[in-house]
Amino acid sequence: MKSIQIGLIGLGTVGSGVFHVLQRNQEEIRRRAGRGIEVTMVSRRNVEQARAIVGDKAQVVADARAIIANPDIDIVVELMGGYELSRELVLEAIAAGKHVVTANKALLAVHGTEIFAAASAKGVMVAFEAAVAGGIPIIKSLREGLTANRLQWVAGIINGTTNFILSEMRDKGLDFEVVLQEAQRLGYAEADPTFDIEGIDAAHKLTLMSAIAFGIPVQFDKAYVEGITKLAAADIQYAEQLGYRIKLLGVTKRTAHGVELRVHPTLIPSKRLIANVEGAMNAVMAHGDAVGTTLYYGKGAGSEPTASAVIADLVDITRLHTADPAHRVPHLAFQPDAMSNLPVLPMSEVVTSYYLRLRVADQTGVLAKVTGLLAESGINIDAVLQRASGDESGQTDLIILTHDCQEAKMNTAQAQMQNLPTVLAPIVRIRKEELA
């Protein structure tokens, strides 16, 4: 049977990985897919560099639209990144009747609703396994492997750059800025690391997982996003002493009132497997009513790990492209006419537990005042730790762990504690998840 013909738009880290893995494993892939999968066209602006990668095995074009215009191309693979041009090209490819594979989580988190609707109307597939957690087949697991379940929550370390930074801060006791520079030197963090360190990249990925887990539209604009730039080495050490590790965690939960969708630094009990995910690795936990808690671990980025996910999508499409569109796996796991309108909850309505660090005057009655304010707001304390400042300042660090409470209550209590004359610096507050 004639090979499926692929056009790659973008031939950088991921695109070159896709090309090389398809070349290397072509026989194995043919045996699985039932026919060959062949890259016959590639596009990047620097055509010389593209030719250096693909040689004479594929036609090189500078204009990505030449791929979309080619009637022989069955699947367009968008590996260029960005929002606007990639949106235009993906919509044009769909309009031309091409199936699309993309690793672009930013594109889908922001324009996913429009893109999936266009694909459904045209009867083509848009596959995006590589967009979340790189090489880990988490989209397939949530959408297909756990399809029997009413999923209750999904939580993950889904940004390798920030996990590397947090691991280094913990191991070496270094501050954020120092480790960021090291991460950039080693090539983990990009020259502009904003999307990673501010939690935006993780929120893009979480938004996609949330949509698939609960059958809600893709709603990146409703996600709460807090990065790791304000984390102090001291809090990582205090957390450690209390039996916790701090991770940048994406959490999405179904509650009776709506869906929580949030990315922020989070204390996780050290005894959980996910708390021990170190360096640039990723891991995702998903909890379903039938299966219980499951855990998925692996490389969330890199040329060939990400190519592994892109090619899995290519094989899926190759197997399914002749099937009646109504019998294919829906893009977001649920049938388009069976999506839920469960709202994404504002952060004030989220229920979680907290780590608080207060720099206070080391005087009689200070602890009683602080705990009194928490009690007045109905917040139950789980543990308290006091650490002397180690200097002659007469100040001390008071670390408090709470049980679950609504964020709105914590906001009120925190404002009241901050107003106490004996609280000498801005209170540090980090959310905590037991992930039990």
Partner touching 12 among ligand NDP, ligand HSE, none, CB below 5 to 8 Å by kind? ligand NDP
- Residue 300 in the binding site for ligand HSE (CB under 6 A): yes
Catalytic residue (choose from 205, 247, 299, 432): 205
Q: Which residue has the tokens 């639209």?
A: 65
Q: Which stretch binds ligand HSE (CB under 6 A): 149-157, 159-167, 247-255, 283-291?
A: 159-167
Report the nearest approach of ligand NDP to the CB of residue 69 (Å).
14
Is 205 part of the annotated catalytic residue set?
Answer: yes
Q: Residue 265 in 3-state DSSP?
A: strand
The residue (of 119 and 131) whose beta carbon lies closer to ligand HSE is: 131
d(CA 142, CA 158): 15
Contact residues: ligand NDP, CB under 6 A: 9-15, 43-46, 49, 64, 79-81, 85, 103-104, 130, 134, 301-302, 306
Partner touching 160 among ligand HSE, ligand NDP, none, CB below 5 to 8 Å by kind? ligand HSE
- Residue 120 in the binding site for ligand HSE (CB under 6 A): no
Partner touching 196 among ligand HSE, ligand NDP, none, CB below 5 to 8 Å by kind? ligand HSE
Question: For residue 292, how many other CB atoms are within 10 A of its CB?
Answer: 9
Partner touching 207 among ligand HSE, ligand NDP, none, CB below 5 to 8 Å by kind? none
- Residue 160 in the binding site for ligand HSE (CB under 6 A): yes
Report the nearest approach of ligand HSE to the CB of residue 276 (Å).
18
Beta bridge partners of 62: none
Partner touching 227 among ligand HSE, ligand NDP, none, CB below 5 to 8 Å by kind? none
- Helical H runs in 347-399? 366-376
Which regions of 2-43 does DSSP assign to beta strands (E)? 4-9, 37-43
Type of residue numbered 161: T
The residue (of 282 and 353) whose beta carbon lies closer to ligand HSE is: 282
The residue (of 161 and 414) whose beta carbon lies closer to ligand HSE is: 161
Site track for ligand HSE across 171-200, x = CB under 6 A: -------------------------x----
Partner touching 161 among ligand HSE, ligand NDP, none, CB below 5 to 8 Å by kind? ligand HSE
CB 38 within 8 A of CB 4: yes
CB 304 within 8 A of CB 139: no
Beta bridge partners of 400: 356, 384
Q: Taking Cα atoms as reference points, which of 429, 434, 384 lies closest to residue 409?
A: 429
Report the nearest approach of ligand HSE to the CB of residue 129 (Å).
12
- Residue 156 in the binding site for ligand HSE (CB under 6 A): no
Q: Are strands 281-288 and 292-299 parallel, antiparallel or unpaired?
A: antiparallel
Q: Taking Cα atoms as reference points, which of 8, 15, 6 lies closest to residue 303?
A: 15
- By CB under 6 A, the residues from 30 to 89 that bind ligand HSE are none
CB 266 within 8 A of CB 431: yes
As given in the structure block, the two tokens for residue 59 are 């036609």
As given in the structure block, the two tokens for residue 330 are 């829906």
Which regions of 108-258 does DSSP assign to beta strands (E)? 126-127, 151-157, 224-225, 244-254
- Residue 301 in the binding site for ligand HSE (CB under 6 A): yes
Report the nearest approach of ligand NDP to the CB of residue 305 (Å).
7
Partner touching 68 among ligand HSE, ligand NDP, none, CB below 5 to 8 Å by kind? none
Q: Which stretch binds ligand HSE (CB under 6 A): 26-34, 49-57, 155-163, 307-315?
A: 155-163
Q: Residue 73 in 3-state DSSP?
A: coil
- Residue 207 in the binding site for ligand HSE (CB under 6 A): no
Question: For residue 81, how many other CB atoms are within 10 A of its CB?
Answer: 17
Which regions of 44-150 does DSSP assign to beta strands (E)? 59-61, 75-78, 99-102, 126-127
Helix axes 233-241, 160-172, angle to 10 degrees: 70
Report the nearest approach of ligand HSE to the CB of residue 161 (Å).
3
Q: Residue 344 in 3-state DSSP?
A: strand
Report the nearest approach of ligand NDP to the CB of residue 84 (Å).
10
Catalytic residue annotation: 205
- Give the footprint of ligand HSE on this chain (CB under 6 A): 134, 159-161, 196, 201, 300-301
